[in-house]
């Protein structure tokens, strides 16, 4: 059996004669379940995610180099994404989580922005940095775990008087 997502009962030869039907149905945003059933209804969970580990001592030099090749202003958010090796190009660590390492140098400010999803921050190194959520400042120090709520009224900005390095993550809903 081909691993193409078709239900195992589908006659592959007969599929050739159904293409015109699929084209017309597709114009109405309709798709036949029997062509994808095998990839939707599985005997066991199947994920593209692969185990991975990012070690601070290996990631930190890349963050420092990023400071030399792009300003926080130009990058808007100078973040290196922790990208799952099984999901290259998707900028995700799992199907529902974005994670990255951000660095802000003394005097830099990550511009205010809204979060559709909640944001989680774990501060790794630095001092005299703060995040402002809807105008309220919260100082951040190494070891701090900061949760920024989602919502239309939530606006976040980060500023540093000294270097700040932290990991950021947020959930992103890709399917229901």
Q: What is the location of CATH 2.60.120.10 in the chain?
A: 56-171
Whether 172 contacts 122, CB under 8 Å? no
Q: What tokens appear for 91 in the block?
A: 């900028």
For residue range 41-85, list pLDDT tens digits in order: 888 888 899 999 999 999 999 999 999 999 988 998 899 999 999
Entry pTM: 0.71
CB 170 within 8 Å of CB 117: yes
Q: Say how far residue 69 (Cα) sits from the centre of its chain.
A: 23
Quick: pLDDT tens for 126-167: 888 888 777 788 888 888 888 877 776 556 666 666 555 665
Q: Looking at residue 94, what DSSP letter applies?
A: B
- Report the CATH number of the 56-171 domain: 2.60.120.10
Max CA separation in the chain (angstroms): 68
Name the 3-class secondary structure at 85.
helix
């Amino acid at each position: 059996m081909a691993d193409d997502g078709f239900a195992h009962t589908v006659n592959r030869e007969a599929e050739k004669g159904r293409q015109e039907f699929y084209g017309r149905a597709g114009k109405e945003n309709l798709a036949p379940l029997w062509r994808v059933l095998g990839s939707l209804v599985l005997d066991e969970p199947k994920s593209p995610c692969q185990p991975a580990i990012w070690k601070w001592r290996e990631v930190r030099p890349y963050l420092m180099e990023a400071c030399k090749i792009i300003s926080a202003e130009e990058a808007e958010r100078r973040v290196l994404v922790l990208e799952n090796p099984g999901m290259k190009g998707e900028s995700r660590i799992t199907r529902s989580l974005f994670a990255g390492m951000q660095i802000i140098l003394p005097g830099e400010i990550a511009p205010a922005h809204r979060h559709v999803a909640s944001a989680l921050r774990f501060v790794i190194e630095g001092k005299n940095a703060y995040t402002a959520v809807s105008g309220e400042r919260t100082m951040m120090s190494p070891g701090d775990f900061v949760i920024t709520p989602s919502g239309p009224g939530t606006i976040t900005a980060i500023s540093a008087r000294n270097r700040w390095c932290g990991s950021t993550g947020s959930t992103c809903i890709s399917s229901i």
